[in-house]
Structure 1
Amino acid sequence: MALIAQPFRHPDSGIYYLRRRVPDDLRHIIGKTEIRRSLNTRIHHQAKAAFAIAYADSERLFNDARQGICIEHHKPEGVAKALPTPLLPAQTESHVMLSAALAHYVQSISMSGRSEYVSRRHAVDYSRAANRFITDMGDMPIAAIQPSHIHAFAANLIQPVNADVKPLATSSTRLLLARLSSVMAFSVDSGLIEANPVTASRIHKRLGSGKPKRRLDDNRGYTWSELVTLFSHAEFQRLRTAKGRPGNAVFWIPLIAAYTGGRREELAQLYVEDIHQHERNSWFIRVIDDRPDKSVKTDSSRREIPVHPDLLALGLLTLVQGREPGTRVFPQLVKVSDGFAGIVSKSWRPITQLCGVYQPGRNPLHAFRHTFKTLAREHGIPKEVSDWITGHASGHIGDSYGINPLSRMASEIQKLPSLAKAAGLLPCE
């Protein structure tokens, strides 16, 4: 009896891989004896989803090689890449199954120009949505999927018929349906169906607003007293010299986030050369996706962030001085399914609980982004400068012209009060 193919778990790193032997008759075409591809996760159920996509890709590669379709040799990590396979005429009729449409959607992701990691993560997330529909509703011909099926699917996500299946929150249901809708929209663009059944169902309207109404007592950010409590706590200050993984990243990333409003992943992925000196001797943190393992959320996220004098006084430059260019500021952080910063978030939450400032519904690390915007407003940093620093797009076309003056940002950032002195990290004058 043949064994069922399974993800391979690396004994040292714990990261799962696809490992597949290349058939003997194809080795001279593909140029390899084995396909080996990282699934970028240590979590088994996520690896299974990524493995299914990678295995299907390898199967298409073998089929294309047998049919004489062009193969790109010597791709890193041992994965050869086949040219996209168009749908055959017989497949473009009404009997095209959702699983087949999903396979072509996944194949199209490589055309987006995103980094390999981001494309793979996108493929896994969107495949999970379509595969959940297939699990609950069956692998239907895509043209047969009606708005009524979408409503039934959504209802089963929130209140599963199977008592052993965990129900999804409304927000998670909305996200999963949005990803399924993207697969359907691609199918419309590809001529497989005339209309997107998810959009036609108006399911998102029935599920209600995706964001809760803002309250006057909005607590998504920390108050000043909460910041002082966090950064003055002995358990936090002990992390400055912490070793291992995540080590001192749990000390520095929250601090840098408090002074810059930077996103957790933007800070966790920094390289040594990203902390650099500009005109008038001012120091800046560069956020840019110039390497395969770096990503940005939006175009406006690519930016220079001025370094507050407190961070310099606290020893930020000791993280990069004497280090080789091309190395990461926090080399102990390993990129997995939730990025470099996932382990920092998991380690930071207990600190907030220990300090008594944890609030349900508040993201413990992302809260610094809200806090920074509040402090900027309170201390007179103009909105346009605050947006430049945090990478928020204003929505005005005129703001896309010209550049953001670095000297102005370096001057305005000094308006922030000294959190480090208030928390006892630096001596008061």
Structure 2
Amino acid sequence: MTTRPWKHPKTGIYYLRRAVPADLLALIGKREEKISLGTKDPVRAKSLHAHALLELDGRWTNLRAGPKLLSEREAHEMVEPLYAWWIDQHRDEPSQQAFWRIDLGENLWPRRPSGWSLQSNLAATLINEAADPAVGARRDMEEWCTDQADAVLKQRGIVVDQSDRRKLARAVAAVMQRASLALKAAAQGESLDVGQQPIARSTLPLAMAVQPYDTAPITLPPAKLSALVEAWWREAERTGKSVSTREAYAHAFRLLTRFLGHDDAHRVTKQDIVRFKDHRLASRKRNGELVSATTVKNSDLAALKAVFGWAHDNGHVAGNPAVGVTVAKAAKVKLREREFTAEEARTLLRAALHLTPGRELPQTYAAKRWIPWVLAFTGARVGEIAQMRRQDLRREAVAGYPDGVWMLRITPEAGTVKTKQARDVPLHPQLVELGFPAFVQAVRAERLFIVPDAAGRVAGPLQGVKNRLSEFARQYVSDPGVSPNHSWRHRFRTVATEAGIAGNVIDALCGWSARSVGERYGSVSLKARADAIARLPQITL
């Protein structure tokens, strides 16, 4: 704990850190207050630290004072800074303010007539209200105002009863309505009469967020959702994050932006994230199937949590609205093994072998023709093969093989490898007989199965080829219990185990991590790998 700004050892952001007094531990629920100052500048940090310390002392004083009665005047004074802040948010483009609906702002928390709950058609009334979009929007606004009231109370350490909490929420609604009406007039060319100079966000009592974040005296610059992803990536790239992760995260943020209808990171609330989650769970993929809960949880929400979390830690946004949002885990019904059956494998390989060129790109045709066969005999991930370059196949001298062995190198130099480690996989004799090495040598371009975009990037084209391969496989293996590309990886292990290949050799071929400390010692030689691949049986169609 320190009375001076504390510099975070990883991010370089300065914080206020102060031990919570013993008499307030039960009320605050933690032993230390840690508040971001939102800056890496030591000089600015000192000034902000002093301001934050005053606010913290005031909060603790209010907590010690116990419950407080709020008058309407006090409630309006507490939230008045919202007016200038909201004006400042939309001063340049007042017509773009779409969050606060003026048509609903005057009628929040409507009073029910006496005897309302006893009316004969109550059920029908409730059903009609539930179906009315305006009712849902009004409830969202009421919840937002209540959360802002909670943020003000939390920041100041003020304890009130439920009645005064509602009073403060109504004051939030009133000031937002006035500010939004002023913006509407400004959109028609009228001058903005703020009534006071636009205040810095450092003096705001709350952050624009649906959940009551820990607020701090910081200045938050405008932040677009798309810009947050790029800023996150500039740092994440140095830590070894893959390009595919960047693409996946950027895709999730594009979906969020499209769903919200705006690109303002400061306007994203927890309620928005929940609605987005529900929207994604109800969405369908190109093949008509619902987006899986696993995709929403481990891809969409994971991306939002990671980027918003980074943005919060680095002072770009007031909080992480995705925190706590998740998808309930449901037990999957398993009706079959995840690998292709022998007959499914033969059907798909037969289709690939006899495929004739169509109107698609030569690279796409080549992918459909060769990649299923390569996956069947290597256990590789589909992306590892689809991104393959001509120079990634070479002939190696291996003891016991007079003519050498064709060796496929799966390497991060070609693109994305999940483990970020290169590995060598010998070609099975059947792949050689079918002419795969001859095909590779005949290709003039560097990439065998994709065409990089104008900037030389491969991530987008790679995903396109993977999609085409999935669609191709689904024509012949439609069972949703198997993955059209990844099931080759499952089948490879089963076939390799039946052939008597040692588990550590299978792991080395497929790029799986060692399962024990002992297995991390030593390595699997090229000869051991070649011997293992040679033991795999030929596939008879």
Aligned twin of 1:260: 378
CA distance in 1, matches of 2:531, 2:336: 30
Aligned: 1:186 with 2:307? no
Could you say what secondary structure the match of 1:340 adopts? helix
Amino acid at match of 2:411: I
Query: Structure 1 pair 208/236, CA: closer, same or farther in 2 (3 Å)?
Result: same
Contact 2:247 2:459 in 1 (8 A): yes
Aligned twin of 2:251: 125
Deviations 1:244-278 (A, max 9, x none): 34223212110010011112221122122211122
Aligned: 1:228 with 2:350? no
Query: Structure 1 pair 345/187, CA: closer, same or farther in 2 (3 Å)?
Result: closer
CA distance in 2, matches of 1:272, 1:320: 6
> Which residue, 441, 446, 450 being the options, matches 1:327?
446
Contact 1:244 1:332 in 2 (8 A): no
Query: Structure 1 pair 397/127, CA: closer, same or farther in 2 (3 Å)?
Result: farther
Aligned twin of 1:296: 417
CA distance in 2, matches of 1:105, 1:244: 34
Deviations 1:199-234 (A, max 9, x none): 3x2x32xx2228x5473x4342111122223334xx
Contact 1:245 1:333 in 2 (8 A): no
TM-score, structure 1 as length reference: 0.60
CA distance in 2, matches of 1:128, 1:304: 37
Aligned twin of 1:248: 366
CA distance in 1, matches of 2:533, 2:232: 43
CA distance in 2, matches of 1:193, 1:283: 53
Contact 1:94 1:192 in 2 (8 A): no
Instruction: Specify the structure having the higher radius of gyration (Cα).
Output: 2
Aligned twin of 2:531: 411
CA distance in 1, matches of 2:435, 2:363: 20
Could you say what secondary structure the match of 1:297 adopts? coil
Contact 1:109 1:123 in 2 (8 A): no
Map 1:267-306 to 2 at 5 A.
267-280=385-398, 281-291=404-414, 294-300=415-421, 302-306=422-426
Could you say what secondary structure the match of 2:322 adopts? helix
Map 1:17-32 to 2 at 5 A.
none
Map 1:361-380 to 2 at 5 A.
361-380=481-500
Deviations 1:278-326 (A, max 9, x none): 23122210011225xx2222224x21112111111211220233666x7
Query: Structure 1 pair 219/95, CA: closer, same or farther in 2 (3 Å)?
Result: farther
**Between Structure 1 and Structure 2, how many residues are aligned?**
312
Deviations 1:63-115 (A, max 9, x none): xxxxxxxxxxxxxxxxxxxxxxxxx9969856747845762442231231469
Amino acid at match of 1:287: I
Aligned twin of 1:103: 227
Contact 2:308 2:320 in 1 (8 A): yes
CA distance in 2, matches of 1:109, 1:238: 43
Q: How far did residue 327 of structure 1 move?
A: 2.2
Query: Structure 1 pair 409/347, CA: closer, same or farther in 2 (3 Å)?
Result: closer
More moved, 329-338 vs 371-380: 329-338
Amino acid at match of 2:434: L
Query: Structure 1 pair 270/135, CA: closer, same or farther in 2 (3 Å)?
Result: same
Q: Which runs of 5+ in 2 are unaligned?
A: 1-199, 204-215, 284-288, 399-403
Q: How far did residue 411 of structure 1 move?
A: 0.6
Query: Structure 1 pair 186/311, CA: closer, same or farther in 2 (3 Å)?
Result: same
Deviations 1:371-403 (A, max 9, x none): 111111222212211111111223545544543
Aligned: 1:307 with 2:423? no
